Structures are given as structure tokens and as C-alpha cells.
Amino acid sequence: MNVLNIPTALSVARKDIKIFLKERGTLLYLFVVPIVFILAFSGVSGVESAPKKEAITLPVVNLDSGSEESQTLLDALNQDGSIQCELYDEAKAEALLEKGTIKRVLTIPANYGSDLQSGHAVTLHLANASDASFTKSEAVHRVVSGVAADLSLQSQLISSFRQMSDMQAMISPEEQAFTTEIIIEQAQSQFERSRTEPLLGLVESWPEHLQEKDEQETNPLNVYIPGFTVLFIFLTAQTTAQSLYEEKKMGSFRRLLAAPISKPTILLGKVVPNFITGLTQIIVLFGTGVFVLPLLGLDSMALGNDPLALVVVSLTILLCSTGLGVLISGIARTEAQISGVSQVVLWIFGFAAIWMDQIGSISPFDVISKLIPHTWANGAFLDLFVRGQGLADIVPSVLVLLGFTLAFFAIGLWRFDYR
């Protein structure tokens, strides 16, 4: 009999929940420890030293790297002292900007030098990531605009003098038509033109959903609280695996199988309590970030602009964690194996997903991170809390997590031994 009986499964789950609530050590591990993590980290990150004036790193893609003019621009930007240019390959810069590893990119177009020399208008492009600081981006914009204006004036004056020099090259000194007064007048004319028709301009772009967003700084709690939440949600997979093992150890599965209850009903009843535990964890941890931290004088985390997307992501992560618990219980044969596999894999995966995304290069680590469900869970939360995106934007992450979930359940059920 393989018919799934929901009421019977809930009865099995209700019994397990009562047992779970009596386990004070488990409650401490699943709820108090995560809150202590968040409070400790928030306290450390909330202590800031006196602000230091540091140069803002500005990634630059120089598509005209062979020209003297582009090097002059880079030197002028670095000499300002407010920003420090770092050269990037175009494809790499675009990938890192999309990922959010770098926050802005200045692109110097191809033929930059030749266009300036010929008097053609040139436009620089400053692209910002969705979670870039508006304050820092505005500072970079002002510096680049100022340098561009100075170089534009310089280029136009040089162009003006070069034109007059060419016109007089074949004329004897006695017959030259341009006096000092005429040269000064021409220079003033070019100065006025540089204000209204600059040769070198700057265009700044933001992702569409941030075009009208108020100036704000990214709250680090919006990054690390979801990261720790994902870590501890997946740690409930160990609780799921241990619960299933205990049932096998005590012979509960054999007794239940002797009753008119299907295997899917039994298994559902066993995983529901841990699903509820994970859901409670999310509520408690996010509630701590939103309501408790402000009471302690710290910042409050934001939960994004799309409540439905938050619910969908949370439920998907819980399903994935539950499936991972079934997988562990299916492949581990002893309690020691369950504990060892869970502690090593889940903690390593959890912390790797939090910090591997901060590696500032495209490397094998970036590929490896995509094989960890925690990475997709963290990415979905960051899309909601940091980048201000909605349900449509996190669909790819949700689909990948569902793929992990199906794989975990399929392998776990295939290897699961009810004896």
C-alpha cells in the first residue's frame, strides 16, 4: 500500500513534535546558538573606528589601452587621490559586476585617443552594480566628471592651437595673420565651447529597478543574517537524519509498517516536524534581525520588497534541507556516520557559501560554489534583501534549489532502509 494519508502523517508528526519539544539540548542548538551567532556578529560589526578617508577602488576597462590619451586619463584619475583605478578585462569585469563582486566599472571606449585628437566627442561609461553604494558612486561620478572636464578643455585648446599652427605653417612670420590677441581670443572661445560641447563626456548607468532609488548604503546585516539563517536551516538536515535513524534504531518503523500505514505516509510524518522547525528558525532569526537588534541600538535588517518571494524562497530552502536530511539518513548506516557527515559537510558548505561568493575573481571556486545548494539559497536572499529584486528575479535560484531537492529525495528514498 503506497497511498499517502495526510491525516495519519500529521498524527505521526504531532507525536514527534511533542518529543522534540522535550529535547532542551536540541532546542538550544537550533534556536539559541543561531541567535548568539547573529548577536555576536552584529556587535562586532557594529563597533566602528573613526572613519578614514580611503581611496575608492574603481575598476576600469580600457578598450584603447595603446593610446597615450587613455593613459593620461588614468593618471589624472589616480592623481586626484579620491579613487584608485584597477584595470580589468572587459568580459571579466562584466561578469564580476553582474555577480556583485565589484560595484562599478568605468569603460574607456575604443578609439578614445584618435577621436580626441580629431575633435570628435567621446563618452565614458560608468556602470554600477545593483547593490553599489549611491554615496560612493556619486563621489566617483564627480571625480570622473571633473577630470573629464579638465581633459576636455585641454584637448580643445590644443586642437585650437594646432589648427592655427597648421594654418600659419606655410606663411612667413611677416605675413602671419594670428597675433597674440587673436590666439587669446581663440583660446577663450574654446574654453566657452568646452563648457557647452565637451569633447569628453561621462554617462552613468544603474540597473533599471534602482533608477529612482533613494541614496543608501548596503546594510551588512542584510547579507550576513540571511547567510547564517541558511547555514542553520541546512543544519536541521542533521536533525532530520538523526530522527529517522532513531526510529529505525528503536524499531518504530517496523511497528508502523505492521500497521495499515504506507511508507510515504510514515516518511512524511517523520520529516514534517523538522520542516516546521526550520520554518520556526527562519521566523526567529529574521525576527531577531528586524525587531531585536534595534532594541540593542544596532541596525535593523530589511526583508526586501516582495513578501511572496520571501515565502517562496524560504519554503524552497526548507524543502531542500529536508531532502538533504533524507539523503543523509539514506546513505549513512550508523549514528556516527550521520553525525560525521552532517557536521563536516553542512558546516563547510554553509560557511563556504557565505564567503566563497566574496572571492574577487572567476576561478574554480566559483564553479564549485554553484554545486552547493547553500550558494543558491544565499543568492536568492541577497537578490531580495540587498538588490531589491522580486519573485521573477529569483526564479532561477528557486528552480535550481528544487532540482537539488528532487535529487536529494530521489537518492535518499532509493537508499532508505526502513529496517
The mean pLDDT of 163-181, rounded to a whole number, is 56
**Tell me, what's the pLDDT at 237?**
82
What CATH number does the domain containing 75 carry?
Answer: 3.40.1710
Query: What is the reported pLDDT for 107?
Result: 93
pLDDT, tens digit (0-9, with 9 covering 90-100), for 333-389: 777 777 776 766 666 776 666 555 544 444 555 667 778 888 889 889 988 988 788
Mean pLDDT, residues 209-219 taken together: 51
Instruction: Write out the E strands in 188-291.
Output: 200-205
| Average pLDDT for the chain | 75
Residue 128: is its pLDDT beyond 70?
yes
Q: Which of 264, 207, 223 is nearest to 41 (CA)?
A: 223
Indicate the angle between helix axes 307-331 and 263-287, nearest 10 degrees: 130
Print the SS3 string covering 37-60: HHHHHHHHHHCCCCCCCCCEEEEE
Same domain, 252 and 389: yes
pLDDT digits over 32-62, tens only?
777 777 777 765 554 344 344 578 889 999 9
Does residue 29 share a domain with residue 10? yes
Cβ atoms of residues 93 and 61 within 8 Å: yes
pLDDT at 229 over 50: yes
Q: What is the pLDDT of residue 106?
A: 92
The reported pTM is 0.59
pLDDT at residue 316, as a whole number? 95
- Domain assignment present for residue 228? The answer is yes
- Average pLDDT of the segment spanning 120-128: 85
- Among 157, 179, 205, the domain-final residue is 205
Q: How confident is the model at residue 195 (pLDDT cuts 50, 70, 90)?
A: very low
Q: What is the pLDDT of residue 329?
A: 81
Residues 262, 171 within the same domain: no
Q: What is the per-residue pLDDT for 3?
A: 66
Domain assignment of residue 63, given as a range: 56-129+133-205
Strand order in the sheet with 200-205: 83-87, 56-62, 104-108, 122-128, 200-205
Helices (H) and strands (E) in the chain, counts: 18, 5
Distance CA(169)–CA(343), nearest Å, equals 82
- Domain total in the chain: 2
Q: What is the pLDDT of residues 239-293, one digit of tens each?
A: 778 777 777 777 666 666 666 677 677 778 777 887 888 888 899 889 888 888 8
Q: What is the pLDDT of residue 25?
A: 66
Per-residue confidence band for 214, with pLDDT thresholds at 50, 70 and 90:
very low
pLDDT at residue 53, rounded to an integer = 54
pLDDT, tens digit, 9 for 90 and up, residues 295-348: 877 778 888 889 999 999 999 999 999 888 888 888 877 777 777 767 666 667
Q: Are residues 103 and 68 in the same domain?
A: yes
Final residue belonging to a domain, choices 185, 205, 225: 205
Give the bridge partners for 106, in sequence order: 60, 126
